[in-house]
Structure 1
Amino acid sequence: MVPHVLGSGPTAPPMSTPVDRARRGKEARKRLPRSEHARWLPSVDRADPVGVLERQGRDRLPELLPIRYGRMAASPFAFLRGAAAVLAADLATSPHSGLTVQLCGDAHLLNFGLYASPERTLLFDLNDFDETFPGPFEWDVKRLAASVAVAARENSHSENDVRRSALAATTAYRTQMRRLAGMGELAVWYERIDAERLLPFARTARGRRQVESTLARARRRTSLQALGKLTEVVDGRRRIIHDPPLLEPAGAADAASLRKIFSDYRSTLSEERRLLLDRYRFVDAARKVVGVGSVGTRCFIVLLTGRDANDPLFLQIKEARKSVLEEHLPSGPYVHPGRRVVVGQRLMQAAGDIFLGWMTGPQGRAYYWRQLRDMKGSAEVAAMGPRQLRRYAELCGTALARAHARSGDRIAVAAYLGGADTFDRAVTDFALAYADQTATDHAALCAAVAAGVLRAAPDV
C-alpha cells in the first residue's frame, strides 16, 4: 500500500512562482522527513524474492529462464541487476515524498553509459528504460545508492569506502538538482553530459588512459562493426550468425511477423525519419538474449542495408511489458508498454535515438525498437578501486538528477532535499542496509538453484 497518493504522471509544474514551488517541496518533509529515508526493515509479510522472480518468468520464454537465473546467481550485484521487481515491492511498503518524476525504474550503476546523440556527439546518460514509470523521485536514488554499495562490497572495498561511494552518489544527485533548480526551463532541457567530461574524473595518467580507451571503444561500436561480428556470408547472402542459445536466426514465422509489423513501427517515427528508414531494406532477423533482468523476454535484432551491403543498420526489437513499478503506483498515462518505454526514454535522455519507436506484435505483445549499437559503451565497474567507484557514483548521481529535472518539479525536489546532507546520509544508510538484504536474497536464489527448485545455466 502506497501511503501518499501520486498523480498519474509527471507533469509541468503548475503556473506558480519558484517560491510557491519551493514551499511545496519543504511541505513534503512533513509527510516524510528526510531522515526517515534511512529506514529499511523487511516487513513480516515481505514477498519471497525467489517467488517474485518465478512470477516474472511465467510469461517468458521458458527455455531461456535458466540463463536468467544463472546470470543472477553469479553474484549479489548480478542479482540486484535482475531484481528490480524485488526492490520495487520493498520500496512500496514505506512512505514516500509524493514528489513525482519520470523514474528510470532500474537506475543501477550499469544502466548508465555512453551513447551517440543524433549529432554524433558521445554523451553519458541513463541507457535502460524498460521499467520507466512516473513515481517518487527517491526510488531511483535509492536503487542507485544500493547498487553502489553492493558493487563496492563485491570489489572488496572497506566498509568506510563503501559508505563514501554510496554517499557520493546521493550527494551528487542533491547538489546537481539544486543547481538545476536555479536554471531556466530551456537551459535544463538542453543540459547534457558530454563524454569528455569523464576525463577530469581520472586523476592519474593511468586512469585517463582507461577513460580514453573506453571512449574509443564506444566510438567503434557501430552497425558497421556489428556487421563483422554478428553476420557471415552464406551462399553469397549476408546472414546473422547462429550462436545458440544467445543468438539464433529467426524462424520463417518470426521473420514473416517482423516484416509485417515493420510498417507499424515505422508509423511511430516522425516523417523525416520514416523517409530515412525507407532507404533501407530488410535483410535478416534473429532472436537475441540480452542483459540480466530482460532474459526470457522476446528480443530480436534486424539487419537492414542501405546504399549497399557495406551500409548496414542494426535495429533491436525488445518486448515491452508492464513496469515492475506499476502494481505499486497509480496508473500511468500510457496503456501501451512500448509507448511507455519510448516516451519515458525521450523524457529522461538528453538526446534520443532517431529510430526509437513502438508497435504491437503477434499475440498482442508490445514491443519497442531502437538501434542495436550506436556508439554505446559502459564502465567496467567490477574493475574499479574505491576512488574510481566514488567518482563514477558521483557522475551517475549527477546524470540521474538531470534526467529527473526534465519531467518533475525540480524546484520542489531541490527544496525538499535542502542544503544540508540529511537526505544524502539517510539514503546512504538505506543503501548499506539494503546491500545486506541483497546478499541475503542472492543466497536464497543460490539455495533454490542448489535444491533444484530453479534450474540455472551458469556462465551463459
Structure 2
Amino acid sequence: MTPISATSASLSAFFQLHDAGRVPALLPLRYHRMQADALAFFRGSAPLYYARFGAAEAVAGGPVGWLCGDAHVENFGSYRGDNKLVYFDLNDFDEAVLGPLLWDIGRLVVSARLAAAHFGLALAEQQACAKQLLLAYTSALAAGKAYLLERATAHGLVRQLLKTVQQRRQRNLLAGRASQRGGWHLRAYKSPTLRPLPLAEYLAVRHAVEAWRQQQPSPPCGPLLDVAGRIAGVGSLGVPRYAILAQSRQPGKLPLLLDLKLALPAAPLAFCAVPQPAWPTEAARVVAAQGYMQAVCPALLQPLTLGGQPFVLRELQPVADKLDFSNFTQDAAGFQAALPVFGQLVAWAHLRAAGHLGAAGPDELRAFGASRASWQQEVLAFSREAQLAVEADYMAFHAACHDGALPTASGL
C-alpha cells in the first residue's frame, strides 16, 4: 500500500489534488453522490484504489491483457450498437490499459463484496458472492470463447434493461432533454442531466465540432443545433463533457443526441509496469481498447481532437440504462443472480482483446482460467482486505465532507 492514510485530512488532500481542473461547479454534486455508501465511493475513487493496491502482489500476476481498468458491478449497461441492435456489456473504458488481468477481476470482486454489503448480506454471503463471481469468470476464460449476451437468453435485471432499450424510440430519448418549441434546442436550464455553458465555451465547442463534422467524407450527422454541458456518472463527474443536439442525416427524422467527453490519462497507468502502446491521444486509447473488448461498440464511437484536447464522441446513452444499485428495485437475490453474468462479460472482454498489441494470446488465457485453484484464494483474501480499506476510506471521506473540507450539495 501507499502511505496515504485513511483520515479525513489525507483523503481531502488526495481528492483536491486529483480533481483539480474539473468543472468546479460539479464537484459538490460529485462528492454528494460518492457519500451514498461505500460502493458509490468506490465507483468514484479509482485513482485512490490504484494508489492503494497498484502494487498488491495478489493481483499482480497472471497474463497481461487489455483491461477495462475500472471494473465494478455498476460498470455494465445496455446500449444500442452501431448496427442498431441492443447489447448488454461493459460500458466504460476511460481507465483502459494494458496490464495484469487480475487487476480487473480483483477490482470487480471487491465491488461485488461492497454491493453485497449494500444489500445487507452477511460476511459469509459476501464471501459466497466473491466466489461465485470468480467461478463465472474463470470458467468462461477456461472455455476460451467470447459470446454475446442476447435478450433471448438473458434473465432478471439484464433482460429488463435490454427490453427497455429495445423498446425505446428516439422521441423517448429526447424527452426532457430537448424541446422543439421555437426550433430544436437542448433544455439546459431545466434538465437535471444538462447544464448551460458560458457563451465562450458554448461557441468554442459548437464551432469545433461543426468544423470536424464538415471535414468528414461521410458526416455521421447533420448540422449541429445546440450544445450543453452534460452531468453524468460519479468517477468522471466534473470532467468536461457535452451533450450535442444535431440534425439527422435523413430529412424529416428527429435530431440525434451525441455525447462528447474529455479523455484523461488512465488511473492505473501510474502503477503499471507493462509497456504501453504509443497512442496519438488518450481518446485514441479509449476508443481502441473499447473496440478490442466490447462485442459491438456504441454508435458513432470515435476519437476527436478539439482545441488541442482529446475527446471521445459517441451516440448518447441514457444514464438509466446503466446498472445503479443505489436505485436498484430488485432484492439481493436479483443481484446475486446477475453475478455470473458480470464474471462472464469480463472474461469475454479479455478473450476478445487477446493478442492485441502486447496482450497474451487466447491459449494463455484459457490456461490461466483453468488454473484458478492456484491463485483464487489469494484474490479472495485480497478482496476482503481491499473491501475493509475502501470502507475505512469511505468513512474518512464522509467525515471530510461533513466537516466542510470537501464541498457537497444535493444538486445544482
Normalised by the size of structure 1, how large is the TM-score? 0.79
SS of residue paired to 1:315 = strand
AA aligned to 1:292 is: V
**Distance (whole Å) between structure 1 residues aligned to residue 127 and residue 267 of structure 2:** 28
1:317 aligns with 2:264: no
* 1:344 aligned residue (275, 278, 289): 289
Rounded Cα–Cα distance in structure 2 between residues aligned with 1:162 and 1:383? 20
Pick which of 387-396 and 240-249 moved more: 240-249
The residue number in structure 2 matching 1:57 is: 19
User: Per-residue CA shift, 1:233-259, capped at 9, x if unaligned?
Assistant: 44x212111137741233432333223
**1:287-436 alignment, distance < 5 Å:** 287-306=229-248, 307-308=250-251, 310-329=253-272, 330=274, 332-333=276-277, 334-362=279-307, 364-373=308-317, 377-381=321-325, 382-408=328-354, 409-436=361-388
2:410 alignment counterpart: 458
| Distance change in 2, residues 1:412/1:117 (3 Å) | same
Aligned to 2:40: 78
Deviation at 1:457, TM superposition (A): 1.2
Offset from partner CA, 1:106-141 (integer Å, 9 cap, x none): 111111121223333322210011111111100010
Cα distance between partner residues in 2 of 1:379 and 1:45: 31
Residue number among 269, 275, 281 corresponding to 2:218 in the alignment: 275
Residue number in structure 1 paired with 2:176: 229
The residue that corresponds to 2:98 in the other structure is: 134
Residues 399, 43 of structure 1: CA spacing in aligned structure 2 closer, same or farther, 3 A cutoff? same
Query: How far does the alpha carbon of each residue in 1:283-316 deviate from its partner, in whole angstroms, 9 at most, with x for none?
Result: 1110011100111110001011223464221110
Comparing 291-300 with 246-255, greater Cα deviation is found at: 246-255
Task: Provide the C-alpha distance between the structure 2 equivalents of 1:55 and 1:90, rounded to a whole number of angstroms.
Answer: 16
**Which AA in structure 2 matches 1:435?**
Q
Which of these residues, 85, 97, 102, is aligned with residue 66 of structure 2? 102
Residue type of the alignment partner of 2:17: R
Q: Aligned pair count?
A: 395
Q: Return closer, same or farther for 1:337/1:372 CA change in 2, 3 Å cut-off.
A: same
3-state SS in 2 of match to 1:366: strand
Tell me which amino acid in the other structure corresponds to 2:233: G
How many Å separate the matches in 1 of 2:404 and 2:385?
A: 29
- 2:245, 2:378 → 1: CA distance? 48
> Do the aligned residues in 1 keep the contact of 2:110 with 2:384 (CA within 8 Å)?
yes
Across the aligned residues of Structure 1 and Structure 2, the Cα RMSD in angstroms comes to: 2.6
State the match for 1:5 in structure 2: none
The structure-2 alpha-carbon separation of the partners of 1:171 and 1:84, relative to structure 1 and needing over 3 Å to count, comes to: same
Map of 1:27-42 to 2, 5 A cutoff? 42=1
Give how far 1:266 is off. Answer: 4.7
- Determine if contact 1:247/1:289 at 8 Å carries over to the other structure: yes
In structure 1, runs of 5+ residues without a counterpart are: 1-41, 203-209
Aligned partners of 1:93, 1:380: CA distance in 2, in Å? 29
Counterpart position of 2:80: 116
Letter in 1 for 2:408: A
> Residue 426 of structure 1 aligns to a residue in which SS?
helix
Letter in 2 for 1:367: F
Matches of 1:58 and 1:303, distance apart in 2: 29
SS of the residue corresponding to residue 109 of structure 1 reads coil
1:45 Cα shift? 5.6
Structure 2 SS opposite 1:338? helix
In structure 2, distance between residues paired with 1:116 and 1:295: 23
**Residue 165 of structure 2, aligned match among 196, 200, 218:** 218
The whole-number CA distance in structure 1 between the counterparts of 2:33 and 2:61 is 34
AA matched with 1:85: P
Verify the 8 A CA contact 2:176 2:191 in the aligned structure 1: no
Matches within 5 A, 1:235-250: 236-241=182-187, 242-243=189-190, 246-250=193-197
In the TM superposition, residue 370 of structure 1 has moved relative to its aligned partner by 0.5
Q: Which residue of 2 aligns with 1:441?
A: 393
Q: Which amino acid letter does the alignment assign opposite residue 92 of structure 2?
A: D
Do the aligned partners of 2:11 and 2:400 also contact (CA within 8 Å) in 1?
no
Question: What are the Cα deviations for residues 7-64 of structure 1, in whole angstroms up to 9, with x where unaligned?
Answer: xxxxxxxxxxxxxxxxxxxxxxxxxxxxxxxxxxx45566844433222211111121
Name the residue aligned to 1:166: 130
User: Distance in 2 between the 1:248 and 1:349 partners?
Assistant: 30
C-alpha change, 1:222 and 1:169, in structure 2 (3 Å) is farther
Instruction: Give the AA of the match of 2:148.
Output: R
Is the Cα–Cα contact under 8 Å of residues 206 and 226 in structure 2 kept in the other structure?
A: no
Q: Name the residue aligned to 2:201.
A: 254
Separation of aligned partners in 2, 1:372 and 1:222: 13
For each residue in 1:319-340, what CA deviation from the matched residue of structure 2 results, as whole angstroms up to 9, or x when unmatched? Answer: 1111101211245221411111
Give the drift of 1:166: 1.4
Amino acid at match of 2:230: K
- Aligned partner letter, 2:304: M
Cα distance change of structure 1 residues 419 and 319 upon mapping to structure 2, 3 Å threshold: same
SS of match in other structure, 2:295: coil
- Other-structure match for 1:151: 115
Quote the offset at 1:221 in angstroms.
4.2
Letter in 2 for 1:414: R
The alpha carbon displacement at 1:225 in A equals 1.6
* Aligned-partner residue type, residue 319 of structure 1: L
